[in-house]
Chains A and B, each alone.
Chain A
Amino acid sequence: MSLATPMTEVPVEEHGAETGHALVTEMYQPTGFFLENVWIIPAVMAVSFLIILFFGKRFAKKGSEVGLAAIGISWVLAVITGIQWISQRGKVPEAEGSGEHAAGALLAAGEEATEGAEIGINAVVRTITWWSNGGIDFPVGTLVDGLTIMMLFVVTSISLLVHVYSTDYVAGDRRYTHFFAFLSLFTAAMLFFVVSENIIQMIVGWELVGVCSFVLIGHWWEDQENSDAALKAFLTNRVGDVGLLVGMIMLFWAAGTFETLDINRMINNGEIGHTTLLIASLSLLAAVMSKSGQFVLHTWLPDAMAGPTPVSALIHAATMVVAGVYMVARLYPVFYEGMSISGSSINALAVIGSITVVFGGLLAFVQDDIKKVLAYSTISQLGYMILALGVGAWTAAMFHLFTHAFFKAGLFLGAGSVSHSVHSFDMKKEMGGLRKFMPTTYKTFVVSSLALAGVFPLAGFWSKDEILVGTGGWGLFGGTGGNGAYTLMLVMGIVGAALTGAYMTRVIYLTFFGEFRGHGTPHESGKRITTPLIILAGMAAVAGLLNLPAGFITGSHDGWQERFGHYVEPTADYFPAISHGIPSYSLAIVSSLIAFAGIGYAYYYYFVKVAAQSPTATELSSGLTSTNKVAKAGHTLLKNKYYLDHLYTGIITGFTKGPLAKSTYWFNQNVIDRTVDNVGRGAVKGGQFIYDKVDQGFIDGAVNATGTASQGAGQELRLMQNGRVQRYATFLFVAATILAGIFTVIV
C-alpha cells in the first residue's frame, strides 16, 4: 500500500509562469475513512449483482429490492465521501479566483515565488499488489480527488433514480431480474472505472462498462434488430479500443509505470517527449471518439436506443458515454501537452468536439423517434465536453458533464414516461397534445429542455457559457483568458446552442402540443416514474448555482462562487497549469440571444405555421425541403445519417465479413490446404511410382531374374541329355583325354 506523505515537495515547473496559473509547491494529503475506503462503493454494487444474478428470482420483488438497497447505500456513501473531501479541501487555503494570482499565506521555503505559489491538495491513493511481471509488481487500487467525488455523485445519483424508475417502467418484463442484475453490474463497473488508480484499471473498467452496455442494449434479444444494435455498439467501441490499448501502452513504456498520477506528474515535469504524447493522445482520442460518441464513430449511439429507456438514460446519456470525457480529464496532461492546447487556435480534440457539436445537432432535426433525437442531442453535448477539454476549459467540461447528466437523464426518463403511456417512441405518428394528459411529465420535460438549450438561469446556461468563455475566442468584446484563441470553436459552440434550442422546441411541439395522433388514452405515469423526473428537473434548474462565475453577482470573488470548480478541479502537481477564461457579460448575452433565435425560429415554424396548418400536422406540407432542391438534398443527407452507417455496416463490415473473409477462407482451403493435400497426394503418387518402378520393377525384378535365368539355363542344358549312352560316353572320353593331357603335360 502506498500513501503519499503529506506536504510533499514538488518541483517547480516553468509552465505556470507562462500561463499565469499559480504553481503548486506543496501538497496537503487529505485523510478520511471514506476517502480511503472508497472501494466499498463499487464493491457493494458488485455484491448486489451477484446476489441478484443467482438468487434474484426468489425475492419478493424479484431482485429489484436488492438493487435498490445497494444503490441507496452506495449513494449515501458517495455523499458522505463527498462531504469528507469538501471538508478536507477546506483545510487548504484556496487561490483567489481564476486566472489571478494567489497570495498563498502558507508559503513554505521561498524558492521562486514568481507569481505566487499555491498549496495543492493531493489525491487519496490506496493500492494492493495485483499482478507481477518481469519482477515488477503492479498494483490495483483507488484514487480519490475532486473529480472522483463528482463522478461518484453523478453515477450513484442517476443510477439511484433510474433504479427507482425501472421498478415501474420495466415491471412485468420477461427478464426483470436479469435487468436489475446488469444495472447493478454496470453501476459497479462504472464506479470501479471512476475510482481507478492506474491505467490498466481504466482499461478494465472501460471494457466492463462496454459489456454491460452490450447486454443491456440487447435486452430484448429475441428481435434481431436489438441484438444487431448491441453488436454494433460493442464492435464500434472495440475499434476505438485499439486506440485505447495503443495509447495506454505507449504511456506505460514512456513513463515506466501504470499509475495515473505518476504519469501525469512526469508529463508536467517535461519528462516525456512531445511526439510520444502526441501519438498517445491521438490514439486515446480514437477511443474517446467511439466511447463518447464523437463524430465519426458515433453511429452506435442512436442504434443503442433499442435498449430499454432507463438504460438509455443511465448509460447512454449520463454515465458510460462520459467515460471517454472522464478519461481525457483524468489524463489531462497527456492531451494538454500532447496536443499543445495552450497557445493554439486549433487542435484535434477541439476540432473533433466542435464538429460533433454541429453534426450531431443537425441530425437531431430529422428524427421521428424521440429517443433518437435525444441520442443525437447527447452526441452533440458530448461534443461540447470534448470541445471544452480541447480548448483547455477543464472545469467547464466537467461542469457540463455534471449538469448534462441531470437534464439529459431527465429528458430520457421523460421520453420513457411518454412511451410508457402511448407505447411508442414515434413522435409523428403516436404522440401530440400530451400536455393535457401528462402534465408532470410535460413540465419536467420543458424545464429539462430549456436547461439543455442553455436558457438563463437554468443549469445548462451556466455550463455552456463557461465552455464558450473557455474558448478564449471572444477577444472582440472583452472576453479573454483561456488557453488559446479558439475562435472557430466558439462559433461552432454558439451555432450548436442555436441548434439545440431549435430541435428541442420541435420535440416539445410534436410531443406535447397539437392534437393527439395515437391510439388509446394516454395517462400520467405513476409516482415512481414522475418523482425521478421532478428531482432531475429540479437539479437541472438549480445546478448552475454550483459554479457561478467569479465576479458575477457581486463583482468580487467571494467564497460561494465557483464552488464546483473549487472542489473538483485539482490543484496539485499532477494537473497541468491551465488558464481559465474570464467570463464576460457580452458573450453571455450574445450567445443567449442566438440560442433564443433558434428557439424562436422553431417556435415560429411549429407553434405558428404548422399549428395553423392543422392541429394534427407534424410538418409543413409546403416547407423548404419540398421546394428547395439544396434543402432537400441536405435533408436526405441528414436522413441517411451522412451515409456513415452505409459505409460502416454496408461497406466496411460487409466487405470484411463477406468478400474478405470468404476470400481468406478460399485461400486457406484452396491454396494452403490444397498445397498440403497435394503434398500428400504427391507423396502417394511418388510412393506408387517407387513401388511400381523401382521396387517391383527393379529390385524385385532382379530377384525374379535370377530365377528365370536359372530356369533358362536349365532348359538349355537339358538338351544335352538325349538318352543315348554313346553320347555320354563320348563326352566322358573326351573329358578324360583332356584331363589326362592337362595332368600329364602341364602338371
Chain B
Amino acid sequence: MFISDTWVLTLATFLPLVGAVIVMALPKAEEQAIKFVALGTSLLVAAIGVMLLIDFNYGAAGELQYVVDESWIDIINSRYIMGMDGISFPLILLTMLVVPLTIVYTFGHFPEPHNPKAFLSLMLILETGMIGTFVAQDLILFFVFFEVVLLPMYFMIGVWGGEDRKYASLKFFLYTLFGSALMLVSFVALYFLADGELAGVTTNTFDMRALPAAAGAIATTSQLWIFGGMFIGFGVKVPMFPFHTWLPDAHTQAPTQGSVILAAVLLKLGTYGFVRIAIPILPRAAAEWAPFIGLLAVIGIIYGALGCLAQTDMKRLIAFSSVAHMGFVMLGIATLTDFGINAAIFGMVAHGLITGMLFFIAGSTKDRFHTLDMSRLGGLLLQVPRMGWILGFSIMASLGLPGLAGFWGEFPAILASYNPAEILNENTFRVYMVIAAVGTVIAAGYLLWTLQKVAFGTVSEEFENDPNIYAITIYEWIAWIPMLVLIVVLGVYPNLLFDITDPAVTNSLSECLSLSGDAADACFDAGQALGN
C-alpha cells in the first residue's frame, strides 16, 4: 500500500473544504484564479480517487479499508471513524467524478446572478459533505456530513434557481431536515438501547461497525420503531413515495449543476443509508418492514412513470423519472438479498450517470432555447445533431437498454424480486416483480415520447433562425464524454462494479435473513456473530 491508511480518507473528505476556504478568501474579481482553484481542488480529489482505485485491495472488498479510528466526542462516545469498502467505493468514485465534470460544465454555463466565487465554493463544500457521508463509520459523524449537504444545496437552489426557487429550496431543506431529525432520534435510540454483550467493544456506542452485533439485543418492537425513524429519514432523501414531492420542485427550480449533483449523488445518500446502516444493524426490523418498502417502491415506479407522462416541462419529467428509477433501487434493497442489493448499488451508480447526463442536456437545452416546454421544442437532431444523439443515447440508457449501464440496475432488481430472502413472502415480491416489469414499459413510453418531442420532428418556427442555438461547446464535451464512456463500459462489462460490491454486500446481510419463520426468529434471538 503506498498511500497511508490513516489520512487518505480524511484528505479526500476535507480537501474540498480547504479549497472552498481558499476560494472564499480570493477576491471576487479574480475569476480565473477562483476557477483554477476550484477545478484544481476537485481534480486533486479525483486524483485521490484514482490512487484509491489502484491501491484498493480488491480481494478484500468485503472488509473496511483505510480505517481511521480517533476519539472525537468522548462524552457521548462518538468517535471519528472512517472507512471504505465495496459498498461505498463506487459511490465515492461517482462523487469524485461528477463534481469536477460539473465544475468544468459550469465554466461555460454560469447561472445568473453571476457569482463564481460563491457558486464554486458551495459546490466544494457539497463535495466534502457527500464524500464524508460515504466514508463515515460513526453515526454522529455520518449525521454531520448528511446535514452538511443541505445548506449549500439550499443556497444553490435559492439564489441561482428558477422563478419559484424560494419555495423549492425551503421545501427541500425543511422536508429533508424533518426526515433527518427522526433519523437522529433513531440513532440516539440505538446508542442507548444497543448494549448487547460484546467482547472487547464498549457498549453504548455510535460505531457503525459494532452496532450490527450490539443491536441484536434490542426488543423487536423498539427495533421496528427505530427502523421506522431511519426509514423516514432515508426515505425522504431517496425519495420514496409518498415523501417525494420535494424532488420535482427542487429539480425544476435548481440550476443545472444543482440538479446534476442532486440527482447524481444526493439521492444516493438515502439509499446508501438503507444499505449501510438500516439493514445491517436491524435485520429483524428490516424483514418486517421489507414488504412495505417493496410496496412503496413499486408504487413509486408506476407513479413516477405516470407522473412523467403528464409533464410538459422536460426537467420536471426527468425529475419524476428519478422517482421511478429509485423505485427500482429500493425494490432491489427490499428483497434483502445480495442479488437485489448489488443491483441496487449498480442502479445507484447507473442512475447517477444517466440522469446526471439527462439533466446536463436539459440544462444545455435551456441555455440555448430558453425554454424547456416540450410543446415548443423539437428537431434538436436537426439543429444540434450531436446533442440530439447524446440525448437519444441517454434516453436509451435510461430505459434500461442492455449493453448500457441502466440495464444492470433494473434487471437484477427484477430478478431478485422473484426470489427474495427466505424470511420474506415470495408471492408478495413476485407480484412486485410483475408490476416493476410493467413499469419498464411505461418508462419506455415516456422516455421515447420525450425523445420524439424534443429530438425528432422538424424545427419549430420560433427557433428556426435563432443564432443562440450553438453547437456543443468544449466545456460540454469535456463534461459529458467521461460519463458517456462510463455508461457504455459499465453496461458492457458490469463486473467492474459487481466484483467490488458483491463481497461487501454479502458481508452486510445477516445470515438469519436466509431462514424463514421460526428458524429465523431463533437465529435472531441467538444473536448475530460479530461481522456476520
Contact = CB atoms under 8 A, between A and B. Distances in A.
The reply, when asked whether chain A contacts chain B directly with Cβ atoms under 8 A, is: yes
B342 A668 contact: no
B437 A664 contact: no
Contacts of A132: 495, 498-499, 502
Interface stretch (A116-124, A201-209, A530-538): A201-209
Interface in B444-483: 444-445, 448-449, 452, 455-458
A253 interface: yes
Given A131-B408, A221-B456, A664 B306 contact: yes
Interface stretch (A18-26, A243-251, A408-416): A243-251
A133 B339 contact: yes
A245 B414 contact: yes
B360 interface: no
Contacts of B442: 656
Contacts of B171: 676, 680
Contact of A672 (B245, B434, B445): B245
Given A238-B444, A656-B309, A661-B309, A253 B418 contact: yes
Given A208-B403, A231-B449, A235-B445, A131 B494 contact: yes
Contacts of B445: 235, 238, 653, 656-657
B307 interface: yes
Contacts of B339: 133-134
Interface in B244-267: 245-246
B415 interface: yes
A243 to B, nearest CB: 8
Tell which of B310, B411, B498 has the most Cβ of chain A within 10 Å: B310
B396 interface: yes
Given A204-B403, A234-B444, A665 B415 contact: no
Contacts of A214: 448
A252 interface: yes
A134 B342 contact: yes
Interface string B494-529: 110011001000100000000000000000000000
A4 interface: no
A222 B242 CA distance: 40
Tell which of A129, A231, A250, A664 has the most Cβ of chain B within 10 Å: A664
A662 interface: yes
Contact of A665 (B311, B407, B441, B455): B311
A130 interface: yes
B181 to A, nearest CB: 13
A231 B307 contact: no
Contacts of B487: none
B118 to A, nearest CB: 27
A690 interface: no
B456 A203 contact: no
A228 B451 CA distance: 11
Interface residues of B, number: 56
Given A131-B494, A665-B307, A246 B502 contact: no
B381 interface: yes
B438 A242 contact: yes
Interface residues of A, number: 47
Given A135-B502, A234-B444, A660-B306, A242 B437 contact: yes
Contacts of A676: 171, 175, 245-246
B338 interface: yes
A228 to B, nearest CB: 8
Given A134-B342, A249-B433, A680-B171, A235 B337 contact: no
Contacts of B100: none
Given A133-B498, A664-B303, A218 B441 contact: no
B425 interface: no
Given A134-B339, A661-B306, A664-B303, A238 B411 contact: no
Nearest to A253: B419
Contact of B402 (A133, A207, A224): A207
B174 interface: yes
Contacts of A211: 396, 401
Interface string A209-242: 0010010001001101001100100110011011
Interface string A689-725: 0000000000000000000000000000000000000
Contacts of A131: 408, 493-495, 498
A9 interface: no
A235 B307 contact: no
B65 interface: no
A95 B412 CA distance: 43
Contact of A241 (B246, B306, B415, B440): B440
Interface in A632-669: 653, 656-657, 660-662, 664-666, 668
A242 B440 contact: yes
A228 B494 CA distance: 33
Tell which of A133, A228, A653 has the most Cβ of chain B within 10 Å: A133
Nearest to B434: A246
Interface in B407-424: 407-408, 411-412, 414-415, 418-419
Interface in A132-157: 132-135
Contacts of B444: 234-235, 238
Given A133-B498, A656-B309, A238 B415 contact: no
B307 A661 contact: yes
B182 to A, nearest CB: 14
Interface in B350-409: 379, 381-382, 396, 401-403, 407-408
A558 interface: no
Given A134-B342, A211-B401, A676-B175, 15 more contacts: A131-B495, A133-B343, A135-B338, A135-B502, A200-B411, A203-B411, A207-B401, A208-B401, A221-B381, A222-B382, A235-B448, A238-B440, A246-B433, A664-B310, A680-B171
3 A-B pairs closest in CB distance: A661-B309, A665-B310, A204-B402
15 contacts: A130-B495, A133-B412, A204-B402, A207-B407, A211-B401, A222-B458, A224-B456, A231-B449, A238-B440, A242-B437, A252-B418, A656-B306, A656-B445, A657-B449, A662-B310
Interface of A: 129-135, 200, 203-204, 207-208, 211, 214, 218, 221-222, 224, 227-228, 231, 234-235, 238-239, 241-242, 245-246, 249-250, 252-253, 653, 656-657, 660-662, 664-666, 668, 672-673, 676, 680
